[in-house]
Amino acid sequence: MAEGKIITMKSIIHLTTALALGNFAWSAPLDTQIVADDAKWLAHLDMQALKDSMIGGFALARAKEEIAKENGTPISIDIDLVAEELHSVTAYGTSFDKEPDKSSVLIVRTGPRARSIIDAYIASMEMKLEGKTGIKRLDDKAYDTYLIGNEVYASFLRDDLCVSSKSYDQIEKAQRVIEGESGNLEESDSELLIKIGAGFFFLATANGLDSIGEVPPQAKILQKAKGGQLVLGERGEMFRVNLALSTPDAEVSSQLSRIIQGMVALASFAEVGNESLNTLMNNLDVEETDRYVSFNIEYPVVGLFNILQALEDQKDSEESEVPVANEEA
C-alpha cells in the first residue's frame, strides 16, 4: 500500500484537535469525580468555553489546515458535524516515571451519536482502504474497544464516554474511578488543584515537582515549588494566563514571586515581528500566600495573533530556504 494511505497517529491528533474546537452547544467544566485520587498531573479542556473564545476560532482554522495537509486517504469527514458530539477532554496520569504515557488516560465526553459516527467512519475506511486502516476492533474486551496504530487503546465505557490509553490496565482503573468503585479527586485531600477561577477554557496542573529527579536546567526553578498549575482563558479582548505555584511556606512563595516577576520584566523588553511585549508588566497581578504564589497576566488577543503569525512566517521562511550544494569544477 502506498505511503500515507493508513491513518497515522499524527492525523488522529490533528483530527482530535479540530473536533475539540468545533461548533457545538455543550459546556463541560472539569469533573473531579472522574479523576483518580492519586493523579500526579491533570489537564482539562472545556470545549464550549474554548469555542466561544477568539483564540479558539484561530486554533480551529489552523487545525483544519493541518488536517487537509496530513490527509493521505480518499476519505473526507465533516468536522463540524462530528464536533457537535464532542463535549470535553480530560487527561491525567499517576506518575512521572520514564514511561508516563503508560500510567495515564485520556477521557473524552461525547454526545450519544459519537460512537455510531465513529463505527460508520471506520467501516467506510475499511471498504475504501481494503481493511488497512491502522484501527482494529478488539472483541475480547469488556467494552467496545479499538486499537489504534497498534499502540493506543480506546474504549467506549458508555455511548457518551470514551477512555483512551497506551495501557488497557489504565482504562480498567479509570473505569473503576468513573463508576465510583475507586477513590476520586473530589473526595481526596490532594493538593493537585491549587487555585481555579472563572472564565478559563484550559487547565493543566501537576503535583510533586520538587520530587522529580532529572529536569532541564531552565526548569530548575520549578523544583522550589511543590506543584504548578497553568490556566488559560479570555476576558473581553484580553487573553488571560494564570500560573500558580504551590509552596511549602511563605519564604519560598516570596522567592518564586521575585524570580517570576524578573522573568516577566525581561520578556517585556522583547519584540516578536512588530509586536512589542512591553505591556506584560503593566498587566501582571501577583498574589502571595504561605501556601502558593499566583501570577495573572493579560495580553490583547489581537497582539497574540500577530505574534503567532510572525512566528509562523519565520518558520515558513526557514523551511523555504533550500541549501545550494557545492558543485565540483
Q: Render pLDDT for 99-147 as a digit per residue (tens, 0 to 9).
A: 777 889 999 998 888 888 778 877 877 777 776 778 888 889 988 899 9
10: confidence class by pLDDT, cuts 50, 70, 90:
very low
Tell me the average pLDDT across 29-53. 89
Contact 103, 94 (CB under 8 A): yes
- 88-99, pLDDT tens digit by residue? 999 999 988 767
In this prediction, residue 21 carries a pLDDT of 40
CB-count exposure of residue 285 (10 Å: 0-12, 13-18, 19+): exposed
73 pLDDT more than 80: no
CA distance 90 to 31: 9
pTM of the shown model: 0.76
| pLDDT score for 321 | 67
Q: Which amino acid is at 103?
A: S
Beta bridge partners of 164: 106, 154
Residue with cell 500577530: 306
Residues above pLDDT 90, as percent of the chain: 23
Q: Does the pLDDT of residue 237 top 90, yes or no? A: no
Whole-number pLDDT of residue 50:
81
Give yes or no for residue 173 having a pLDDT over 80. Answer: yes
Is residue 243 a contact partner of residue 286, using CB atoms and an 8 Å limit? no
Using pLDDT thresholds of 50, 70 and 90, give the confidence band for residue 304: confident
Least trusted range by pLDDT, from 243-247, 264-268, 288-292: 264-268
In this structure, is the dihedral angle defined by the CA atoms of residues 123, 125, 128 and 132, taken in order, positive or negative?
Answer: negative
The CA distance from 158 to 141, in Å, is 14
Instruction: Please check the confidence at residue 230 and state whether its pLDDT lies above 80.
Output: yes
Distance in angstroms (rounded) separating the CA atoms of residues 63 and 54: 15
